[in-house]
Amino acid sequence: MIFKLVGDERPYPEHGLGHREWAQIPPRQVRLDALITTKANLDLHSLLAKDSTFYGDLFPHVVQWEGELYLEDGLHRALRAALHQRSVLHARVLEL
């Protein structure tokens, strides 16, 4: 099992953070098997692209809400970590 659950929505309230605000949150280690995805579909071109993290944040965005960790942005990075047999990744975690 890679993730705790595969979801396809954001059950938490809108937080309104932009790229600049996310960048202020220091990354921390998160276990992949503790994450619930907010996207159920994956684009293999993005997953396999060598420069897929070049234009965005290097760290996935996770929202902690009601005791659960939701992977809001960075599904491709998380899957790439799993393919490299890593059980944790560094992510920015917003606590709501």
| pTM (2 d.p.) | 0.86
Is residue 88 assigned to a domain?
Answer: yes
Per-residue model confidence as pLDDT tens digits over 43-90: 777 666 665 555 566 899 999 999 999 999 988 889 889 989 999 999
Quote the mean pLDDT of the chain: 88
Q: Mean pLDDT across the stretch 22-31?
A: 96
- Determine how many CB atoms are found less than 10 A away from the CB of residue 55: 6
Is residue 49 assigned to a domain?
Answer: no
pLDDT of residue 66: 96
> How many folded domains does the chain comprise?
1
Kindly report the CATH number assigned to the domain that includes residue 63: 3.90.1530.10
Beta bridge pairs of residue 5:
36
Phi-psi category of residue 74: left, alpha or beta, with phi > 0 → left and psi -120 to 50 → alpha: left
Is residue 31 assigned to a domain?
Answer: yes
pLDDT of residue 60: 94
Is residue 47 assigned to a domain?
Answer: no
Backbone angles phi, psi at 74, to 5 degrees: 115, 20
Q: Which domain holds residue 23?
A: 5-9+19-42+55-95
Is residue 14 assigned to a domain?
Answer: no
pLDDT exceeds 60 at position 17: yes
How many angstroms from the chain centroid is the CA of residue 66?
A: 17
